[in-house]
Amino acid sequence: MSPEQFGSAVLDWYDRHGRKHLPWQQGITPYRVWVSEIMLQQTQVSTVLGYFDRFMTALPTVQALAAAAEDEVLHLWTGLGYYSRARNLHRTAKIVVEQHGGEFPADVDALAELPGIGRSTAGAIASLSMGIRAPILDGNVKRVLARFAAQDGYPGEPKVARQLWALAEQLTPRQRVAHYTQAMMDLGATLCTRSAPSCLICPLQTACQAHRLGRETDFPVPKPRKTLPQKRTLMPLLATDEGAILLYRRPSSGLWGGLWSLPELDDLAGLDPLAARHALQLGQRRELAGLTHTFSHFQLAIEPWLVQVQGTAPAVTEADWLWYNLASPPRLGLAAPVKALLARAATELQGDSP
């Protein structure tokens, strides 16, 4: 199958079956495409839909995003995970406004230099919103091409990645690049899926090498698996009689960077110095059901304790600590497990009310 035949097959399929009604496909702008592409990194379309609509309602332009407080951006991102994406989104918006006059560069290399925008995301922004011919190689397209060529080797290896990029470049047509880019993403998302590809209705089946070999699910070659190490932490939920929980803002770099979280202790003995730091008197404590949160490179076992505290109208003098009111919560960025633990605390405290 020649590149021309490949492109025609993909575009014919798109005209009949491609997705054309996703929110970011309406009123297309580089800003809307960029936000959707960042949200869709390692996140399914069904999850992103609600987040995208809320984000666009709150921050409809790159200027609005650049002017927003980081807490507001992280609040809108809460639950999507991989929070460095949100911080990079905020940084890039400021750069676009301050250095590019509020307009995204109409150049793939210049786009790829912006924080959080790699080569594939830059290609998607350029092709989908500007009509610039640019190959992409996101997870869905990588799967389609790895199967089409029966590409040996893990795509995360530089040599294999170069081979797939060369194939993507060769096959990307010069006409209808926006539709072709969307079609390739749609093929991977709806037909060429990880575990049960729908090969019989795929427009590429007759030329797909993996299909010819009957080895569709062997490609792309998976990353060598490693056993995830486990770590443990104790998270106290220090609760006032008014139903406020003590939180602190994590450093901007590292895990949950810039998000508000619960204190982390090695054991219950750490409660006393924590209470002394904030002039609190410790009261009744109870252990809540634990939970495990999986990061890309380790699992965190969280042991939560709900601890009643009293103080002199608890006030926080340090900028990176605050009392989070469960009844009228502020708009803050929260890590997903912390948000879940705060909800549990609210339920427990309501149960204690007379």
The secondary element (H helix, E strand) that includes residue 280 is: strand 280-287
| DSSP 8-state code for residue 43 | S
The secondary element (H helix, E strand) that includes residue 272 is: helix 271-277
Helical segments of 61-156, H only: 62-67, 70-77, 84-100, 108-112, 119-130, 139-148
Residues 6+ apart with CB under 8 A from 247: 260, 261, 262, 321, 322, 323, 324, 332, 338
The catalytic position among 4, 37, 98, 264 is 37
Tokens of 50: 């609600």
Q: What's the rounded Cα separation, in Å, for the pair 62 and 163?
A: 35
SS3 assignment, position 33: helix
260 touches 324 (CB < 8 A): yes
**Is 37 annotated as catalytic?**
yes
Q: Which residues are bridge partners to 231 per DSSP?
A: 300
CA-atom Rg of the chain in angstroms: 24
90 touches 76 (CB < 8 A): no
Tokens of 167: 């194939």
Q: What's the rounded Cα separation, in Å, for the pair 89 and 76?
A: 12
Q: Which residues are bridge partners to 306 per DSSP?
A: 237, 286
Report the Cα–Cα distance between both ends of the chain, in Å, rounded. 74
Q: Is the dihedral of CA 208, 43, 49, 345 positive or negative?
A: positive
Tokens of 226: 């490693």
Q: Give the residue numbers annotated as catalytic, written as ranges.
A: 37
